Structure 1
Amino acid sequence: MRLDPVPQDTPQVSERLSHIVRVATELGRRNVEIQGFLQSLDENCTAHSGSLNTLQTRGDRVQSAAQRAIETTTETRALADSALVQMQGSIKRLTETGGLSRDLASWVNQVHADSGDVDAMLVAVGKSNGDIASIASQVNILAMNAKIEAARAGDAGRGFAIVAEAINDLSHKTRSAVEDISATIQSMSQWITHLNDGARTNSIGAQTLLSEVEVSDAELSDIEARMTELREAAHKTEAEVASAQNASAEFVPAAATLSGFMKELGQGVHEAKTRTESLIDQSESILQDVVSLGGSGKDSPMIVMVQDVAGRISEAFGKAVATGRISVSDLFDEAYTPMPGTDPAQMTTRFTKLTDDILPALQEPVLSLDPRIVFCAAVDRNGYLPTHNAKFSQQQSKDPVWNAAHCRNRRIFDDRVGLKAGRNTEPFLLQIYRRDMGGGNYAMMKDLSAPIHVEGRHWGGLRLAYRLNG
């Protein structure tokens, strides 16, 4: 059924209707702009609300982690304090041991030096003992000579003989003592030599020990300094972690407050968007009613055009069913099968091939009838657009943003405008909307649609989109 504009009695009425159309169109445009802004704001609020909830949850985790961290750092600081005290005690004992080692090394060096002196003294004693032995031998010889002379003197030499015998006996004892002393000196000399050899070896070890003690003293001092630094770092870390915990404790309630505010804001924005959509519907209803009464010469030709092409599509579909090219069930197929590897996703149905055969010859010529026209394409009741104009039916690339703008065939446009166009059963439907061109780009458009019927059933609608100003 085609709805022609109602004839008007006077030019004044027509002008007023046209004025109402212009006002309603501008109102609709502004409402759509507001709705688009609120839609973006609603999406941002939803996204930010989710982010804030995540942030709050993570803030709770940070606070818990900070609490565990401060407990750990407090324990670490206590261990560092205890370790430093123990280390200082150990260093003190090691320092004392080093001092004893140093004294022992000095004593060993002194023993080595003294053993040389003792050996020299034993050599001197040995020499003196040799002299005594020589004297004892000479005395013995003299005693023997004296005894001989006393024997020759007879009784006169008896007293002298007794003295000579005593001297001889003394010389023997002296020789025996000298021999004992020589043996002792030799034994002592061997012992001193052994002691000196050991002292020499120990002296070398003592020098090494002294060097190592010096190195150990330096290393112990360094260890003590490092342990002191470690304790200071532990104290500083404990203070910083405590500060972080305090900051996180302040952050969490602030994040919760902000999250609650964002949630309330999102609810308000969503409600405002819903009300704006209602205003859009009302302004579109006003616009449609006024246009149907004959207002605005700009839209009337478009209405006639879309109704005419929609009628021809209905006839072509009906003929295809009648001739057996397609069954009614296939023509009304709603099993949308995704095409692999497409982004955005493209779909096929059992009637897609038929629309590819029939629709281009009916849709393409419309594009050249008015420079304002952007596209002319049929959609089913669910917003599925099987066959688009050639310029919007490019082969998909690897760029989804480019695909969204240039590969719009075989896609489902189930937004508010697309669904209303596909499900409208009135003679025509005139909408104002922001067309999503992909990549965050939108264009303000009028969407004029007329229903397509096949064998008394509503198949969908023909969408004719054109610019508001041209």
Structure 2
Amino acid sequence: MIEKRIEVADPQLVDKAAREMGGLAMGCTDAAGHVMAVTESIKRQVAVLGELQNVVGSLEADQRQATDAADEARTLSERARNRLSEGGETIARSVAEFGELTALVKSMGLQMTSVSAAMAQVSRTIETIDRIARTTNMLALNAAIEAEKAGDAGRTFAVVAAEVKKLALDTRSATVEISMTMESLNREGGVFLRDLTDGVTRATAAEKAFVRVNGTVSEVMALVDQMDAQAEDIARATNMIHKRVCRVGDELDGFSEDARANETLLGVAHSRMGDLETRANEMLDLIVHSGFALDDRRFVDLALDSGTEVRQNIEAALAKREIFAADVFDTTYRPVEGSNPQQYDNRFNEAADRLIQPILDRVSLSDPRIIGAAVTDVNGYLPTHLSSKSQKQRPNDPAWNALNSRNKCNFLDDATARAIASTADFMLTTYRQDLGVNGYRPVKNCFVPLIINGRRWGNFEIAYVD
């Protein structure tokens, strides 16, 4: 049997391997954070895509309505054009008929003027007949006088003179009646002529108005033709837009499906990266527990010593009855009214500020690589914090408060939950610290369980950069 001597490995190489493992754990944490950021970004993009799909759907519906409206407008303009064409023809016929009527009225006016002239001539003739009748009457009267003088010899002549006189009187009576009738006719004819003249004037004005209406109808028909042409152009444009919107919608659907598929793949990748991060952290924690990784070990020792100091301070205060166990383990968190981010009070706050905060401040200032120290109970509640992180909140300034008023808050993240569930004397893990606009940085965190008089209260923790 050949025996070989097993030599102890070079401690520096083991420490280097431990540092490399720490670097791996930090890299896994950083990569997992980036994958998470990309996943969240894709989720937001998928949500935006969903909104875009809704917008495109609404736009498609609007375009369909616009197309229907354009088609309806074309139909209405076609109807209007047909109606206007029919109306124009009717108006044109009416104008022609009204022109003929106006011409007839004018002709009647001219004829009435001729009738008036003839009646005037008749009146003058009647006056002449009347003068002749009066003269004849005078002659008959003289003949009767002369017949009376002649006696029996003029008796026959007297009879003739009497008949002539009677004829003259009848003629005068007839001329008087005719003259009265002519005067009445002249009056009626004058009124009728004035009315006829007024009618001719109004008919002429109406004819001109009809001509203007006919011109207006022609202009409206021209406008309707233009509107019909524009409606046809709009219909073509909306139809083209509708097709393009449908194409965009199809492209968005395909892109959304791809994005959701990528989101699923990234979710799987993030889950696997999380598993790798957990295993890397477990290996780092195991290496540190094995006594290697000297760089990390001194922070672990500092956390263990500081956690012991915190425990001793609390137990001493309990022994002196300065505080009571019910106060230390109080989990009745009362919301601080008006706080943003939300803060909570409990009965341990004042004692924690007195017994724990000085230790947190001292540890935080003991090494430039330490970025903070804190205590959290089993629910992730911080009854106190560093002095610089325990300032009074400013009203209406949540951003400042989130940086400077972190006490009395609850921060139960995955790492804190795993540390609370751990029964080891310490747990070393890594996480990504959010630096706001400056991005993130990988941080190591050492959790030490705080057991007060045999009862688990929570953890003491130190965060530092590698």
TM > 0.5: yes
- Aligned partner of 2:459 in structure 1 is 461
2-structure distance, mates of 1:125, 1:299: 147
1:284 aligns with 2:290: no
Q: How far apart are 1:184 and its partner, in Å?
A: 1.9
Match of 1:17 among 9, 14, 17: 14
Query: Are the equivalent residues in 1 in contact too, given 2:144–2:162 (CA < 8 A)?
Result: yes
CA 118–179 in structure 1, closer or farther in 2 if over 3 Å, else same:
same
Instruction: List runs of 5+ in structure 2 lacking aligned partners.
Output: 1-6
Scaled by the length of structure 2, the TM-score of the pair is 0.84
Q: Secondary structure at the match of 1:412?
A: coil
CA 264–185 in structure 1, closer or farther in 2 if over 3 Å, else same:
same
Q: How far apart are 1:188 and its partner, in Å?
A: 0.8
Query: Are the equivalent residues in 2 in contact too, given 1:428–1:450 (CA < 8 A)?
Result: yes
- Aligned partner of 2:388 in structure 1 is 391
Q: Secondary structure at the match of 2:461?
A: strand
2-structure distance, mates of 1:442, 1:393: 23
Match of 1:341 among 327, 338, 341: 338
1-structure distance, mates of 2:257, 2:92: 65
CA shift digits 1:331-366 (9 cap, x unpaired) = 334444332323322233343333223211211111
Query: Are the equivalent residues in 2 in contact too, given 1:379–1:422 (CA < 8 A)?
Result: no
CA 416–439 in structure 1, closer or farther in 2 if over 3 Å, else same:
farther
CA RMSD, 1 decimal = 3.4
Q: How far apart are 1:159 and its partner, in Å?
A: 8.2
- Aligned partner of 2:29 in structure 1 is 32
Q: How far apart are 1:124 and its partner, in Å?
A: 3.9
**What is the letter of the counterpart of residue 81 of structure 2?**
L
2-structure distance, mates of 1:87, 1:349: 86
1:272 aligns with 2:233: no
2-structure distance, mates of 1:323, 1:91: 112
**What is the letter of the counterpart of residue 251 of structure 2?**
A
**What is the letter of the counterpart of residue 263 of structure 1?**
R
- Aligned partner of 1:430 in structure 2 is 428
**What is the letter of the counterpart of residue 40 of structure 1?**
A
Q: How far apart are 1:226 and its partner, in Å?
A: 4.2
- Aligned partner of 1:138 in structure 2 is 135
Query: Are the equivalent residues in 1 in contact too, given 2:371–2:465 (CA < 8 A)?
Result: yes
CA 408–111 in structure 1, closer or farther in 2 if over 3 Å, else same:
farther
**What is the letter of the counterpart of residue 374 of structure 1?**
I
- Aligned partner of 1:353 in structure 2 is 350
**What is the letter of the counterpart of residue 38 of structure 1?**
V
1-structure distance, mates of 2:415, 2:110: 113
1-structure distance, mates of 2:56, 2:36: 29
Percent of aligned positions that are identical: 25
**What is the letter of the counterpart of residue 281 of structure 2?**
E
1:363 aligns with 2:360: yes
Q: Secondary structure at the match of 2:449?
A: strand
**What is the letter of the counterpart of residue 464 of structure 1?**
I
Q: How far apart are 1:451 and its partner, in Å?
A: 1.7
CA 399–441 in structure 1, closer or farther in 2 if over 3 Å, else same:
farther
- Aligned partner of 2:442 in structure 1 is 444
Match of 2:38 among 31, 37, 41: 41
| Number of residue pairs the alignment of both structures matches | 459
Q: How far apart are 1:110 and its partner, in Å?
A: 6.2
Query: Are the equivalent residues in 2 in contact too, given 1:102–1:213 (CA < 8 A)?
Result: no
Q: Secondary structure at the match of 1:384?
A: coil
Query: Are the equivalent residues in 2 in contact too, given 1:137–1:175 (CA < 8 A)?
Result: yes
Q: Secondary structure at the match of 1:387?
A: coil
Q: Secondary structure at the match of 1:434?
A: strand
Query: Are the equivalent residues in 2 in contact too, given 1:404–1:438 (CA < 8 A)?
Result: no
1-structure distance, mates of 2:111, 2:333: 112
CA 424–353 in structure 1, closer or farther in 2 if over 3 Å, else same:
farther
- Aligned partner of 2:4 in structure 1 is none
Q: How far apart are 1:128 and its partner, in Å?
A: 3.0
- Aligned partner of 2:81 in structure 1 is 84
CA 200–440 in structure 1, closer or farther in 2 if over 3 Å, else same:
farther
Query: Are the equivalent residues in 2 in contact too, given 1:427–1:450 (CA < 8 A)?
Result: yes
Please say which of residues 436-445 and 311-320 is displaced more in the overlay.
Answer: 436-445
CA 199–394 in structure 1, closer or farther in 2 if over 3 Å, else same:
farther
1-structure distance, mates of 2:353, 2:214: 94
CA shift digits 1:353-407 (9 cap, x unpaired) = 3322321121111122111221111112333222111222233332333322222
Please say which of residues 218-227 and 84-93 is displaced more in the overlay.
Answer: 218-227
Query: Are the equivalent residues in 2 in contact too, given 1:284–1:430 (CA < 8 A)?
Result: yes
- Aligned partner of 2:298 in structure 1 is 301
2-structure distance, mates of 1:296, 1:222: 97
**What is the letter of the counterpart of residue 22 of structure 2?**
T
CA shift digits 1:129-185 (9 cap, x unpaired) = 212211232233234434555666678878877776665455444333322321221
1-structure distance, mates of 2:391, 2:251: 51
- Aligned partner of 1:311 in structure 2 is 308
2-structure distance, mates of 1:304, 1:216: 106
CA 365–94 in structure 1, closer or farther in 2 if over 3 Å, else same:
same
CA 455–94 in structure 1, closer or farther in 2 if over 3 Å, else same:
farther
**What is the letter of the counterpart of residue 270 of structure 2?**
K
Please say which of residues 223-232 and 19-28 is displaced more in the overlay.
Answer: 223-232
Q: How far apart are 1:15 and its partner, in Å?
A: 1.2
Query: Are the equivalent residues in 1 in contact too, given 2:91–2:210 (CA < 8 A)?
Result: no
**What is the letter of the counterpart of residue 432 of structure 1?**
T
Instruction: List runs of 5+ in structure 1 lacking aligned partners.
Output: 1-8
1-structure distance, mates of 2:431, 2:176: 137
CA shift digits 1:309-345 (9 cap, x unpaired) = 1111122233344444444454334444332323322
Query: Are the equivalent residues in 1 in contact too, given 2:84–2:217 (CA < 8 A)?
Result: no
2-structure distance, mates of 1:133, 1:103: 44
Q: Secondary structure at the match of 2:459?
A: strand
- Aligned partner of 1:4 in structure 2 is none
